[in-house]
Amino acid sequence: MPWIAAGALASLLAALAAGIYTWLTFRLVRSQSEPHVVVYAHHDDARPSLIEIVVKNIGHGLATNVSFGTSRPLPHRAFGVSVDTATPGATMSEGPLITGIPALAPGETRKILWGQFGGLQKVLAGETITVTCRYFHLHRRMADSVCYLEVHSFEATDASENELTRLVGEVRRLADSAAAIERKLPNS
């Protein structure tokens, strides 16, 4: 009789373990097809002194009805390389962070010009803005992600032009020089 009870207990534990394994596998597979929207600040690659806000779906599913909430009004177009010469800009009143995004495909981004370090630092004074992203997956399951926007970490970072930007500038300069030489040549 004790062997029967032990066998029944072992069977129950095996069934419980199989159930937990199946549930975890389902969650893992489901998470591989869900969207995940993030918002972050980034140096503009083509214009290194500018900072932009990037909204990106880093997940593998379509995010729909994406909306955003912020812990405080977002400054917008706050320019100035140094805090002393900065202009505070205005409060953001348009764009995807205000109106939302109907659909954001996997890997898709929206980039918003935010400002320059000095202007943003003057307005934010070292404060971090919390951004809550709310979106749906397959029009039925809602998800949230919390992100943080700040500019303090950009202080004393390299905002010089990258090699590609410098190369494009040099090619333009050569093309302008060639055009000027061509204008000075007599018509033949």
Q: pLDDT (tens digit, 9 = 90+) per residue, 133-147?
A: 999 987 677 888 999
Q: If pLDDT is split at 50, 70 and 90, which confidence band does 110 have?
A: very high
Q: Tokens 């202007």 map to which residue?
A: 119
Total residues belonging to the chain: 188
Q: pLDDT (tens digit, 9 = 90+) per residue, 43-91?
A: 887 887 899 999 999 999 999 999 999 999 999 988 887 778 888 788 9
If one compares 168 and 122, the residue with the highest pLDDT of the two is: 122
| pLDDT of residue 38 exceeding 60 | yes
| pLDDT of residue 111 exceeding 90 | yes
Whole-model pTM? 0.69
Predicted local confidence at residue 159, as pLDDT: 60
- Across the chain, mean pLDDT equals 84
| pLDDT of residue 127 exceeding 80 | yes
Q: If pLDDT is split at 50, 70 and 90, which confidence band does 21 have?
A: confident
End-to-end CA distance of the chain: 113
Q: What is the largest CA-CA distance in the chain?
A: 113
**Amino acid letter, residue 67:** S
Predicted local confidence at residue 25, as pLDDT: 65
Residues forming a β-bridge with 115: 51, 78
